[in-house]
């Protein structure tokens, strides 16, 4: 298909590449897509979690509201944490968590140095993705 459409982000148009498509995870993994939405005019952020199986069927979905203190990266890390906890709590593991926050994914994978604001949260997420827990965290633009 290709082309772009417009979406409003903080009042400004943001081009969206409509040629991106969802890719199924390898069997037996579930794919957990997570995203956060923040408003510069509010003190809260919305978090969305969507879990699909390898056939692309939606298995579960959830939304959460969290306090927003001005640090988008912190909210994105909370979003990954909530996605992991949600998938684990309902038994949809092994799982691949996909986030559109490259910095958070790189922090979790130790590809960049922890920032003190999110360091404890990243450490918690790393514990949730240990070798005993079959969960991977990947970047998805």
Dump pLDDT digits (tens) for 69-101.
Answer: 888 999 999 999 999 999 999 999 999 999 999
Q: How far is CA 112 from CA 26, 95, 115, in A?
A: 27, 23, 9
Q: What is the pTM of this model?
A: 0.76
Dump pLDDT digits (tens) for 54-70.
Answer: 999 999 999 999 989 88
Could you tell me which of 112, 98, 101 has the C-alpha nearest to residue 71? 101
Dihedral angle of Cα 20, 26, 27, 28, to the nearest 10 degrees: -100
Write down the domain spans for the chain: 26-139
Q: Which residue has the higher pLDDT, 123 or 131?
A: 123
Q: What is the pLDDT averaged over residues 104-117?
A: 77
- CATH homologous superfamily of 26-139 equals Ribonuclease H-like superfamily/Ribonuclease H (3.30.420.10)
Q: In whole angstroms, what is the distance from residue 11 CA to residue 31 CA?
A: 31
| Residue 126 contacts residue 111 (beta carbons within 8 Å) | no
pLDDT at 111: 67
pLDDT at 10: 44
pLDDT greater than 60 at residue 35: yes
């Amino acid at each position: 298909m290709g082309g772009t459409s417009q979406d409003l982000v903080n009042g400004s148009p943001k081009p969206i590449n409509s040629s991106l498509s969802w890719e199924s995870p390898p069997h037996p993994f579930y794919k957990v897509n997570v995203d956060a939405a923040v408003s510069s005019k509010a003190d809260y952020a919305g978090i969305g979690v969507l879990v699909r199986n390898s056939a692309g069927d939606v298995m579960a979905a959830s939304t959460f509201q969290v306090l927003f203190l001005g640090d988008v990266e912190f909210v994105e890390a909370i979003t990954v944490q909530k996605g992991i906890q949600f998938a684990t709590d309902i038994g949809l593991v092994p799982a691949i968590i996909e986030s559109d926050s490259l910095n958070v994914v790189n922090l979790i994978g130790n590809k960049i140095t922890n920032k003190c604001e999110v360091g404890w949260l990243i450490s918690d997420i790393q514990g949730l993705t240990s070798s005993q827990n079959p969960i991977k965290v990947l970047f998805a633009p």
